[in-house]
Structure formats: structure tokens, C-alpha cells
Amino acid sequence: MRLNKFLSSCGIASRRKCDEIILSGAVTVNGKVAKELGITVNEKKDKVFYEGKQLFLPSSFVYIKLNKPKGYTCSAKDEKGRKTIYDLVKTEERLFSIGRLDYETEGLIILTNDGDFANKVAHPKYSIEKEYHVTIEGPIKESELAVLRKGVVVDGQRMPSARVEFLSSDEKYTKLSVVIDEGMNRQVRRMFEAIGKSIRLLKRVRIGKVKLGGVKRGDFRDLTDEELNSLVRAE
């Protein structure tokens, strides 16, 4: 088994992130630092350590959906001492999130210790949709919606197009639905910053067919078989 897959299957992180961890020199195999990609390990015989702890493949997989509140990071540890989503999820398993939400964004996060599952859900090849509800200050023009739908240009780079639909408005705020199928860093926030709109609230409400509904802010539960299968079957 490739080392990055072994690490991911042990619940360390996605395979892409595990490649970074390997290159950083934080992993040893049979007492030797592994700093090259493509290394293979015998999961039954080789001794793999990360951060001083020996890793073992899990005997079972966990799939959790969490309603992340604002004011939590998605890192296992935060250098600023801020609260993390792992303070909310009480489990003995070593889990990692599939994709992240920034400190000020709330909503749906999926956590697992199944690296193959995480790789599929996160991989751009499968174009799994993510839906956000965005509350902005003030009104928005049809011409601005058209720019968001086509893909705004940020630092000379055109961002991916998005499906943007009007939901509601009042004297102060406008609420929109934004659906994307790529995961550029802070993509939704950067879209609205590019057209000069200030986001009051940003919440992810759906990943694929898995919806946030039914989980209170700060709570979590296991994915149902139907929810899990909808992501496994996604093409």
C-alpha cells in the first residue's frame, strides 16, 4: 500500500495532505524518516509512526456530519489556541474533515477515517456539488449576479462559474443560494469580495445529496446509509 494511502486510511488527512506531511519529514517507517512520495508499506508488518505515535488501520470506518458553528477552525490543532471542530466531536477514532470551512463560516462538515471515501468526495473529477446560503449586506443587481454565475476574475484568474439564485431580501440584507462543484480556497468569499459585497453570514447547507437539516448548530450525527451511499455512488 502506498504510504499516503496508508496514512489517509489511518485517519490522518486526505491523500493530498498526507503527501505534504510525508515531505515534511513527520513520518517514519521502521525507524527511518520517509521524505519521498511513492513509498510503499506493508500494513501488516511495517511500523509507521506519525507525531510519535504508531499508526494502525482502523477496524471500522466512521462517517459523521457536523453542523459547524462560527468561531471554530477545521484544524486538528490551532496555533492561535482557538477552538476546533474536534472539540465538538467526541469519538475515540482519529478523524479528519473532507474539505474545510474557514473560521467565520458555519454549516455542514463531513468527517471520517476512511481515506478512500474522502478522496472520492473531495476529488474534482467527481464534481460533487456544495451549496451555500450567503447573506450579504444590501441589495444585489442582476448584472452582479451574472458576473458571479460566469465566474469573477480575481488577481487575473477567472474563478469557476457558480449557480447563484435569489432566496429573499429585506431592507438590510439579501440572501442567496450559491452552488459550486470545485473547492478553491475561500472561493465563495472571494467571489463576493470581487464584486464589492460584504458577507454577513456564510453557511454550507449541502454536499452532494447530503443536507445540513436535522442537526443543530454544534451537534453531529452519523451519516445514514442513504446519505453515505449517495456520496459513494456520485459520478
Which cell numbers hold the place of 52?
A: 510519535
CA–CA distance, 28 with 31 (Å, rounded to integer): 6
Q: For strand 199-207 and strand 130-137, is the pairing parallel, antiparallel, or unpaired? A: antiparallel
Rounded to whole angstroms, what are the CA distances from 88 to 35, 124, 130, 228?
33, 28, 22, 21
Rounded Cα distance between 81 and 227, Å, is: 34
Helix, strand, coil % over all residues of the chain, rounded to 5: 25, 30, 45
With 0-12 / 13-18 / 19 or more C-beta atoms within 10 angstroms meaning exposed / middle / buried, residue 42 is exposed
Given the residues 46, 78, 87, 102, select the one marked as catalytic.
102
CA dist 189 → 133, 168, 193 (Å): 12, 19, 6
Cβ(122)–Cβ(98) below 8 Å = yes
Catalytic site includes residue 102: yes
Total H helices, total E strands in the chain? 6, 15
Q: Which residues are catalytic?
A: 102
